[in-house]
Amino acid sequence: MPSPKYKRILVKLSGEALIGDQSFGISPDMINYIAGEIRSVYDLGVQIAMVVGGGNIFRGVAASSYGMDRSSADHIGMLATVINSIALQDALEKRGVQTRVQTAIEMCAVAEPYILRRAVRHLEKGRAVIFAAGTGNPYFTTDTAAALRAQETGAEVLLKATKVDGIYDADPMVDPDANKVDDVTYLEVLKQQLKVMDSTAVSLAMDNKLPVIVFNLKEKGNLRRVVCGENVGTRIREA
């Protein structure tokens, strides 16, 4: 069995990752696939935390663009992340992974409130932890929540799971001549406005020297390869 490079990781999953081939919502096949990928890393003895977006259900930024108050829209988006987190918890526990959901907005009937010491204790006991409801504040994305929770819980790396195999110097969906880069500095991401993560999340990672690896989740086994130190995706690092 390969040896993991990291002891504790945080995986950022976009809400769109749960859509699969659907136009919205949660695809049962996709969420079960993601649970299988998480289980493959869990079996290595790695402590796993996760942050899930809500874009498959509701996007606060999009709603605010057609007149909804941004604060209200973002709070709806936070609730969407809770829906996704509970669905992912169910899929993981069906695969034998003990999982806890902690929310930044208290809703004790469905999940624990976010308490750092409790979250770390869950990780130490071998439970996967899903952080829902972002940071609990409007105007902050789940990318920023992922960078924040990774730093708070002492994760050694932030793994950004996407539908592309890394960072490109242009949008590969638009420009066929776009070139993938294997590693890039935080400042280059900010200066070139590479849209892999929002600038607040990148700045937070940079200030705390938190490594970020962007990789394609849809390629089976990629998450495990990244955790075992293989050269997969793009690494965002110090200069």
Domain boundaries, the chain: 8-237
The tokens for 74 are: 């973002």
d(CA 120, CA 224): 22
Q: Is residue 175 packed enough to be buried (19+ CB in 10 Å), middle (13-18) or exposed (0-12)?
A: exposed
In 3-state terms, what secondary structure has residue 132?
strand
Q: What is the pLDDT of residue 234?
A: 96
Q: What is the pLDDT of residue 1?
A: 67
Q: What is the pLDDT of residue 193?
A: 86
Q: Which residue has tokens 């490079």?
A: 5
Backbone φ and ψ for 110, nearest 5 degrees, come out as: -120, -20
Domain 8-237 falls in which CATH fold?
A: Carbamate kinase (3.40.1160)
Under-70 pLDDT residues of the chain: 1
Q: What is the pLDDT of residue 30?
A: 96
Q: What is the pLDDT of residue 60?
A: 74
Burial 65-102 (b: 16+ CB within 10 A, else e): eeeeeeeebbbebbbbbbbbbbbbbebbeeeebebbbb
| Among 49, 38, 45, residue whose Cα is nearest residue 9 | 49
In contact, 153 and 143? CB cutoff 8 Å: no
d(CA 197, CA 176): 22
Structural element, H or E, at residue 213? strand 212-216
Would the CA dihedral through 150, 171, 189, 219 be positive or negative? positive
How many CB atoms sit inside 10 A of residue 109's CB?
5
Measured CA angle at 173 (ends 170, 177), to 5 deg: 50
**Is this structure's pTM higher than 0.75?**
yes
Q: What is the pLDDT of residue 179?
A: 87
The number of residues making up the chain comes to: 239
Q: What is the pLDDT of residue 80?
A: 95
